[in-house]
Amino acid sequence: PVETYELVRDYAKQETLDPLRGAGRWLGVGLIAGFLMSVGIVIVLVGVLRLTQDLLLYTWFVDQADGLSFVPYLVTLAIGIATSAVVWSRVSVFELNRGRR
């Protein structure tokens, strides 16, 4: 009975606590990486907005700039949605303890 209890206890530790030991670091790195990528994507999208405003409104369609002022926002929105779709398609779930068997 004592051996069975110890066996069950050790198994429970192995299957529940051991995988969670590295989770704090894994979660911290993941949150920092996600935050930095989000900031980078926002900066790139602001650049895309500014570029499309400059090209569409002040270079190509100068005469219709007032009527087409919404187009750069639509272009930026489309690029943002496409970027989000690519990022979400690349997200995968993996185990916290890959090296363990």
Give the pLDDT band of residue 94 (cuts 50, 70, 90): low
Residue 61 CA from chain centroid, whole number: 35
Q: Which of the residue ranges 24-28, 52-56, 59-63, 79-83 has the most confident prediction, judged by mean pLDDT?
A: 79-83
Residue type, 90: R
Residue pair 83/8 in contact by the 8 Å Cβ criterion:
no
Q: What is the DSSP letter of 62?
A: S
More confident residue, 44 or 27: 44
Q: What is the DSSP letter of 39?
A: H
Domain residue spans in the chain? 2-90
If you compute the radius of gyration of the chain from its CA atoms, what whole number of angstroms results? Answer: 25
More confident residue, 1 or 45: 45
Half-sphere exposure in the Cβ direction for 10 (13 Å, CA): 6
Mean residue pLDDT across the chain: 83
Quick: pLDDT tens for 59-75: 777 777 677 788 889 99
Rounded to an integer, the average pLDDT of 82-99 is 75
Residue pair 23/96 in contact by the 8 Å Cβ criterion:
yes
pTM: 0.65
